[in-house]
């Protein structure tokens, strides 16, 4: 058992004075006056020893009180000088240390508060990870992007979430930057970095959506090319067709019948090429949506009836899964109808004989499902690239036009094959 310095000091003083009392008694007991004087001296010595002990313990009490205050993170406690040199020096050092700690703590709190406000106000999604690379924080933009609160993702690894974007970022390293495209249309720039917390590294992800900038850049690029092509091709085709028609009329003699037929074929080819260029130009000249309150339930019924004939010719069955109540939304009826026609047409082409296409509707989204050929991940990320087509003779205009219409309406959309094998075109109606 270890004895404290305090106990040693008391024991030492006690033993010393007991021995002195005993010696005085033995040596000076016969001389009463000297004996009494010695006892008074020993009493005075005891009082002085007690006072020295108190003076010795006072700095320790100050230190102990200061330590308790620091443990409680209370930096408002300061000591008043006592007039005793050694103690006052200790008090001065302690008060100076407390002032510095309080100033540093205030500065850290202000910086931490500023950083929190900066993160929350950031237009970029920020996902903060803990020491074990589990999600510990989301700013407002990230909560809006992933449509969930922190409580739903907190404590999960990126691969354990149900968000395809976060899952894809699981293997990113600190300092790495990556461009990620989801559902073939939404594009993100992701940067992973780290900061030091209590001496240990913690990582965070900055996720910036580039979709609008990229789409606008793409549209400006292909719009300029299409307008130039349309101008040159239409001018050439117009003059060429006029010459062909005039020549056909001049060759009215029966002996030129074969030549007239060839000229008619060339003229028809000119007209098809004109229609081809007009289709491209329609994407660029797409007007701003003229919105009106439209019953989507009735619109989808009408489109299903309209496309039934084309589906039947390929042996495909079109079904509807619509709600009992009407669903009204502010849309450009003609443009959304064109979107549905394009999507169903693609679904018909993807299905084999006896395939099924199901048109679904809720108050939050439109679904066009088919059990045709699934879409591979490699194809999925390219589907909404301008004029991309999986068909050898395809122009890729249908999905490009669909993309522009839905973006102009502000609707979210995606086209992908679900785990059950059904390919689903989703149109979100929540905006």
Q: Which pLDDT value is given to residue 368?
A: 93
Query: Is 36 among the domain residues?
Result: yes
Q: Are residues 330 and 280 in the same domain?
A: no
Q: What CATH number is associated with residue 179? A: 3.30.450.20
Instruction: Print the SS3 string covering 306-340.
Output: HHHHHHHHCCCEEEEECCCCCCEEEECHHHHHHHH
Q: Which pLDDT value is given to residue 174?
A: 85
Query: Is 204 among the domain residues?
Result: yes
Q: Are residues 329 and 269 in the same domain?
A: no
Query: Is 275 among the domain residues?
Result: yes
Q: What CATH number is associated with residue 253? A: 1.10.287
In terms of Cα–Cα distance, which of 115, 118, 54 is closest to 87?
A: 54
Query: Is 96 among the domain residues?
Result: no
Q: Which of 152, 177, 209 is the last residue of a domain?
A: 209
Query: Is 97 among the domain residues?
Result: no
Q: Are residues 225 and 193 in the same domain?
A: no
Q: Are residues 324 and 423 in the same domain?
A: yes
Q: Starting at the edge strand that comes first in sequence, how are the strands of the sheet with 423-428 ordered?
A: 317-321, 356-361, 365-370, 423-428, 413-417
In terms of Cα–Cα distance, which of 125, 63, 120, 71 is closest to 95?
A: 63
Q: Are residues 189 and 237 in the same domain?
A: no
Q: Are residues 188 and 238 in the same domain?
A: no
- Sequential DSSP letters for 366-377: EEEEE-SSPPPH
337: left (phi over 0), alpha (psi -120 to 50) or beta: alpha
Q: Are residues 358 and 296 in the same domain?
A: yes
- Residue 386, helix vs strand vs coil: coil
Token match 């060759």: residue? 251
Q: Are residues 189 and 158 in the same domain?
A: yes
Q: Which pLDDT value is given to residue 105?
A: 79
The residue count of the chain comes to: 431
Q: Are residues 306 and 396 in the same domain?
A: yes
Q: Which pLDDT value is given to residue 281?
A: 63
Number of folded domains in the chain? 4
Q: Are residues 242 and 200 in the same domain?
A: no
Q: Are residues 307 and 373 in the same domain?
A: yes
pLDDT tens per residue across all 431 residues of the chain = 566 666 777 777 777 777 777 777 777 666 677 767 777 777 787 777 777 777 666 666 767 777 777 777 776 677 667 666 666 777 777 778 878 888 887 887 787 788 888 888 888 888 888 888 888 888 888 888 888 888 888 888 888 887 878 888 888 888 888 877 776 667 788 888 888 777 788 888 888 877 666 666 666 666 666 666 665 566 666 667 777 777 777 777 766 777 777 777 677 767 766 766 666 666 666 677 888 999 999 999 988 888 888 888 889 999 999 988 888 999 988 889 888 988 998 899 888 888 999 999 988 889 999 998 888 777 766 666 656 566 655 556 677 778 888 888 888 888 888 888 899 999 988 75
- Residue 146, helix vs strand vs coil: helix
d(CA 400, CA 423): 19
Q: Which pLDDT value is given to residue 235?
A: 62
Residue 139, judged by CB atoms within 10 A of its CB (0-12, 13-18, 19+), counts as buried
d(CA 149, CA 141): 11
Q: What CATH number is associated with residue 306? A: 3.30.565.10
pTM above 0.85, yes or no: no
Q: Which pLDDT value is given to residue 249?
A: 74
Query: Is 88 among the domain residues?
Result: no
Contact between 296 and 335 under an 8 Å Cβ cutoff? The reply is no
Q: Which of 284, 314, 345 is the last residue of a domain?
A: 284
Q: Are residues 255 and 368 in the same domain?
A: no
Query: Is 106 among the domain residues?
Result: no
Query: Is 221 among the domain residues?
Result: yes
d(CA 57, CA 54): 5
Q: Which of 161, 186, 209 is the last residue of a domain?
A: 209
Which residues span the domain enclosing 252? 213-284
- Cβ neighbours of residue 219 under 8 Å, at least 6 residues apart? 284, 386, 404
CA 115 from chain centre, in angstroms, equals: 18
């Amino acid at each position: 058992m270890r004895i404290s310095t305090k106990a040693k000091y008391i024991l030492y003083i006690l033993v010393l004075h007991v021995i002195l009392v005993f010696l005085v008694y033995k040596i000076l007991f016969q001389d009463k006056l000297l004996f009494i004087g010695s006892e008074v001296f020993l009493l005075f010595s005891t009082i002085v020893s007690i006072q020295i002990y108190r003076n010795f313990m006072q700095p320790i009490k100050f230190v102990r009180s200061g330590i308790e205050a620091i443990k409680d993170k209370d930096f408002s406690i300061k000591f008043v000088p006592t007039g005793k040199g050694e103690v006052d020096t200790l008090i001065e050092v302690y008060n100076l240390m407390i002032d510095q700690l309080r100033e540093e703590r205030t500065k850290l709190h202000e910086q931490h508060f500023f950083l929190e406000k900066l993160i929350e106000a950031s237009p970029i999604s920020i996902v903060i990870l803990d020491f074990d690379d589990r999600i510990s924080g989301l700013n407002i933009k990230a909560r809006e992007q992933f449509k969930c609160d922190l409580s739903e993702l907190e404590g999960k690894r990126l691969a354990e979430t149900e968000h395809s974007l976060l899952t894809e970022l699981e293997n990113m390293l600190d300092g790495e930057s990556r461009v990620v495209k989801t559902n073939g249309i939404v594009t993100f720039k992701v940067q992973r970095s780290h900061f030091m917390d209590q001496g240990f590294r913690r990582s965070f992800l900055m996720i910036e959506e580039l979709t609008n900038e990229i789409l606008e850049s793409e549209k400006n690029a292909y719009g300029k090319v299409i307008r130039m092509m349309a101008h040159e091709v239409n001018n050439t085709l117009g003059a060429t067709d006029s010459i062909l028609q005039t020549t056909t009329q001049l060759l009215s003699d029966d002996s030129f019948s074969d030549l007239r037929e060839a000229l008619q074929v060339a003229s028809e080819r000119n007209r098809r090429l004109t229609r081809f260029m007009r289709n491209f130009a329609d994407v660029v000249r797409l007007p701003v949506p003229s919105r009106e309150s439209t019953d989507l339930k009735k619109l989808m019924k009408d489109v299903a009836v309209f496309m039934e004939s084309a589906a039947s010719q390929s042996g495909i069955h079109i079904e509807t899964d619509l709600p009992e109540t009407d669903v009204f939304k502010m849309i450009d009826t003609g443009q959304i109808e064109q979107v549905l026609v394009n999507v169903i047409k693609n679904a018909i082409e993807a299905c084999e004989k006896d395939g099924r296409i199901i048109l679904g509707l809720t108050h939050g989204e439109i679904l066009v499902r088919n059990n045709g050929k699934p879409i591979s991940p490699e194809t999925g990320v390219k589907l909404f690239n301008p004029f991309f087509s999986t068909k050898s003779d395809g122009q890729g205009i249908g999905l490009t036009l669909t993309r522009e219409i839905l973006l102009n309406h502000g609707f979210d959309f995606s086209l992908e094959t679900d785990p059950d094998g059904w390919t689903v075109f989703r149109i979100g109606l929540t905006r």
